[in-house]
Structure 1
Amino acid sequence: MRRMLVTLLLVPVLAYVALCAMLFLAQRKLVYLPDYTHVPRAGTDYALDRDDVTLRGWIVNPGRPAAIVYFGGNAEAVQANAGDFARWFPGHSVYLLAYRGYGASDGTPAASELLDDALAFFDDVQTRHPGKPVSAIGRSLGSGIAAHVAARRPVDRLVLVTPFDSLANVAQAHYPWLPVRWLMRERYPAVDALRDYPRPVLVLRAGRDEVIPGANTDALLRVLPRAGVVSIQAAGHNDLHASPAYGEAMAAFLR
């Protein structure tokens, strides 16, 4: 009887441990969703050579004096923004870079590499626009990457779309019964990067955001007390860009 009782107790414990191990090992496949973003290299017009890979993307409004770098979401085909960005930012060249493993970029996505790539991306764009302002937009996952860049480079103006305090905290909110904060390697701690951040910031949030809990955006805003905030109440996480207020707010902020 005692052995049976021990067995009955061990089975759920072992199943829980196995689930945690599976999530730890598979987390990059859960965080990064590049499969629907792949395009031929011939359709790109920007390339950034790294030590081990070539990253590719697009330039919108080439030849303008000022620049914007854009960091997309975890399943976003960033080139889909080209038409809107051309209209909203006529005085800027906008650079859309596909992450490693996305679009026509080589490699496999992982936080450490994506963050290093983002710094190199900013540096390359700044070299192309000497003495001119370079701003950054980061959406969802890209908000964590943009925060990392803004903390380490002279970003002129920073736009964060549906941002979070850290990806680990977002995952913990979705899976409160798992020790996610201990398991996550892909953390993107935006709240640490932007604590006491001095430059202009605009935050765009969705009133019906089903991916980033409001509490996680609120936690980030507590360290950005001077940030401008635009809440689009009728929008969800993935359709925020369809609201006219989305483009109007960014165009006014990045004018």
Structure 2
Amino acid sequence: MSLRNISRMPRILVYILVAVAALYLLLCVALFVFQRALIYFPQPSAIATPDTVLKLSVADADLQVSIRPHNGPKALIYFGGNAEDVSRNLPDFSQAFPDQAIYLMHYRGFGGSTGSPSEEAIARDALDLFDRVYAEHPQVAVVGRSLGTGVAIRLASQRPATRLILITPYNSVLEIAARQYQMFPVKWLLKDTFDSGQYAAHISVPTLLIAAEHDDVIPRSSTVRLYGQFIQGVATMKVIAGAGHNSISESPDYLKLIGSGL
């Protein structure tokens, strides 16, 4: 639109257009500044006794890891969702997987861990935890749920995990965010993209993807797209019938399927 045309428009309309543009830019700035508050929802730890907590000090934070110690070669490391208290898994996991030492990592800001969560910080913390566990247990299975699948797959592409299990996984958080906030240039705003698809081709250990039939958070197309990124023969995909994104762990098949992948 030329300046001449603009000058012919009623002044009030020009003011409205300027106000709308300013509001849109303000919303973009707010989305950029507060985006991590829309991704991470820190939860306190419900189970925290001296024999169920491992304190892991890293460069710039002190992490809390809910644990069930067990002597032997096998261990399981679990990364939870963006609003999950991972300690609540401890009783069921301990009973279902008696031969595994269990390590459930509380992200920064979650469950007594210090610091603020971000994709890169969590990825570094995951490496530190794996190295600590691997020093005592040479067979480490890595499990992630929802947001944690992005942490798990990246870790498994960088460390010698023996198994990888992804529960309600996605191909990319960027894809999901762009779908939810279609009116904003999410590609240019999002810091933590959790691009799981780029790591899938580097995975060589047996991998199990577990999807919920009625997942209203992670589109099935995103899970299928991720599944297609793995080298043929590396990954298998199972769907838990009748389950939703948040109710999947209530299914009687949930722990059975995780156990089948260990």
TM over 0.5: yes
Residue 135 of structure 2 aligns to a residue whose secondary structure is: helix
Q: Percent identity?
A: 37
Cross-structure match for 1:234: 242
Is residue 196–residue 223 contact of structure 1 (8 Å, CA) maintained in 2? no
Q: How does 1:17-166 map to 2 (within 5 A)?
A: 17-34=25-42, 36-38=43-45, 42=49, 44-129=52-137, 132-166=138-172
1:2 deviation in Å? 4.0
Which whole-Å deviations, capped at 9, do the CAs of 1:160-181 have from their partners, x for residues lacking one?
Answer: 0011111111111212222112
CA distance in 1, matches of 2:165, 2:194: 16
1:14 deviation in Å? 1.7
Alignment TM-score, normalising by the size of structure 1:
0.93
Q: Give the counterpart letter for 1:248 in structure 2.
A: K
> Please, which runs of 5 or more residues in structure 1 have no aligned partner?
none
Q: Give the counterpart letter for 1:195 in structure 2.
A: A
CA distance in 2, matches of 1:205, 1:117: 26
Q: Give the counterpart letter for 1:188 in structure 2.
A: F
Q: Give the counterpart letter for 2:128 in structure 1.
A: A
CA distance in 1, matches of 2:171, 2:107: 21
Q: Give the counterpart letter for 1:218 in structure 2.
A: V
Within the candidate set 169, 176, 200, 1:170 is matched to 176
Residue 134 of structure 1 aligns to a residue whose secondary structure is: strand
Which whole-Å deviations, capped at 9, do the CAs of 1:130-188 have from their partners, x for residues lacking one?
Answer: xx211100001100000110111111100000111111111112122221121100111
1:21 deviation in Å? 0.9
Cross-structure match for 1:243: 251
Is residue 41–residue 104 contact of structure 1 (8 Å, CA) maintained in 2? no
CA distance in 2, matches of 1:6, 1:152: 55
1:218 deviation in Å? 1.5
CA distance in 2, matches of 1:96, 1:252: 19
Is residue 48–residue 66 contact of structure 2 (8 Å, CA) maintained in 1? no
1:42 deviation in Å? 4.9
Q: How many residues are aligned here? A: 251
1:62 deviation in Å? 2.2
Q: Give the counterpart letter for 2:116 in structure 1.
A: T
Residue 90 of structure 1 aligns to a residue whose secondary structure is: coil
**Over alpha carbons, which structure has the higher Rg?**
2
Residue 183 of structure 2 aligns to a residue whose secondary structure is: coil
1:208 deviation in Å? 1.1
CA distance in 2, matches of 1:69, 1:153: 12
1:61 deviation in Å? 4.5
The structure-2 alpha-carbon separation of the partners of 1:40 and 1:133, relative to structure 1 and needing over 3 Å to count, comes to closer
Q: Give the counterpart letter for 1:37 in structure 2.
A: P
